[in-house]
Structure 1
Amino acid sequence: MTALNRTAYPYFKQSPSPRELAELYTPTADELDLAERRVRSVPNRLSFLVLLKSFQRLGYFPKDEVIPAPVTSHLREQLGLDADVSASAPGASRRRYYQVIRDYLQVKPYDSSAEQVATTAIEAAVSVMDHPSDLINVAVERLIKGSYELPAFGTLERLAKHLRVLSHTELYRQISSQLNQAERDYLDGLITQPDAEVKAMLNQLKAAPKSEKLTHLVQLQQTFDELMSFGDAQPGLFHLQR
């Protein structure tokens, strides 16, 4: 499970400060005019503006239960409504508000075209990025740049992990196709019957690069040289050298 807070996927701060409420969630005169023109009932304008300001902050329409209470209270005050006025809109009204807000913000819904945009972005990045959070970030950036509504976080997470598996499988296939049987047997033996020395070597080869200090760069070069000692890997790296 990828931690949402380790990605660029937007989410609410549950306790926004008064300054944040004023700067991020106060409707403009144009937005108030939009609400008056497109929503007949004054109480329902609260629902509309909560969705509008939430979308501006997040890039998607959140569920009612994740919208911070201070945000709803702030907008309720802006409209001069009583504290007991609900911000939840009926399903049909809510869907209509979605479309009005998309049109106003000139944002496209997440559909098959948007999924293809996210897929293309991840496929281009997956050969040089490995962690799902990095792949999710690439997709989020490309979708926002393309003026698309963001899908649920889980949708992007599943897409990133699926494409990552496909990329890794193809990489393993390419490497395996260049090995002879003796080399395959040798590598299999490293995993199936590792002694202490082999385990130490495997752990060293699997270790992630450390910070950009000179001593760490020297260690990284040593690890690279050890990897190259297994055979000529240059043909498989040609696409990274262009």
Structure 2
Amino acid sequence: MAGIELHLFFSPTRDELQWAADATDGDEHLLALLLMLKSYQRLGCFPALEDVPEQVVEFVRRQVELPEGTLPLYRAERTAKHHRGLVRKRAGVKYDQGEARRIVEWPIPKEAAAKNRPADLINNALEKVVEAGLELPGFSILDKMASKIRTEVNASIREGIYDRMSTAQRAGLLRLLEERDSDGTTLFSRLKKPAKGPTWSRFKNLAKRLDWPDELGDTSVWMESVATGKITDFAGEADASKLRDYAPIKQIALIAS
């Protein structure tokens, strides 16, 4: 962790040091409480003391001039719980993980309809929890929630693409994985082949080439209401080496994308 980040986010103020000193009865607890306070201010949740980087522990210890070798320790869970309560009171937040999860679950499906990266899905949800004055759920909980919801939303979008096709159109897309061009490559590889550099002759060839996928079906119908970013993500998943392992609905939706 860079020194400038340590100074910006982990330097206790004089007021914070006095507050922590008034609430504790020894150097170990003083250091532990300050680490909980500064970690919460930075992360919005409480890490386990053993997960706080050693350089952060050492930086805070030196900032408040505690003896060399002082370690942040809780010998009883009730003390750790009491300290978390003190930090929440000072930060003006409540601990209600059920409500925090409910708030998180509301925006993620909407975001997942247009975005695919878990980080993108989580960030907006976190803002809502902070606005509500609640302690953030742990990142692992958020990551699992985002992944689960993203999977459900993606499956729903793919089913919609599949349902908007005729039986003949679905069969036509699946044939792309089997039928081959004169050079032995599949028609699917031909579909994904990028255009070459722009010249007039190549432009005319490209125009002819576009007539071929247009014959496969009307993609504007298939992709109705599907976000452009989601189409791009699905197209990126359409790897010939993996497509055969997917269920037919996913296969067809990715090929269509």
Normalising by structure 2, we get a TM-score of 0.69
Q: What aligned pairs does 1:1-242 form with structure 2 within 5 A after superposition? A: 13=1, 16-17=2-3, 19-90=4-75, 91-109=77-95, 111-191=97-177, 193-195=178-180, 196-203=185-192, 230-231=217-218, 233-234=220-221, 237-238=224-225
* Larger RCO: 1 or 2 (CA < 8 Å, sep 6+): 1
Alpha-carbon shift at residue 98 of structure 1 (Å): 1.0
What is the aligned residue count?
Answer: 209
Structure 2, unmatched stretches of 5+, are 195-205, 228-257
The 3 A distance-change label for structure 1 pair 85 and 227 is: farther
The 3 A distance-change label for structure 1 pair 157 and 93 is: same
Letter in 1 for 2:217: F
Distance across 2 between alignment mates of 1:235 and 1:85: 64
Distance across 2 between alignment mates of 1:197 and 1:81: 70
CA-atom RMSD in angstroms = 3.1
SS in 2 for 1:237: coil
Deviates more, 1:123-132 or 1:102-111: 102-111
Letter in 2 for 1:54: S
Letter in 1 for 2:126: V
Alpha-carbon shift at residue 30 of structure 1 (Å): 2.3
Alpha-carbon shift at residue 68 of structure 1 (Å): 2.3
Distance across 2 between alignment mates of 1:143 and 1:189: 48
Rg comparison, structure with higher value: 2
Alpha-carbon shift at residue 230 of structure 1 (Å): 2.1
Structure 1, unmatched stretches of 5+, are 1-12, 206-218
Distance across 1 between alignment mates of 2:120 and 2:215: 27
Normalising by structure 1, we get a TM-score of 0.72
Indicate conservation of the 8 Å contact 2:112/2:153, yes or no.
yes
Q: Percent identity?
A: 24
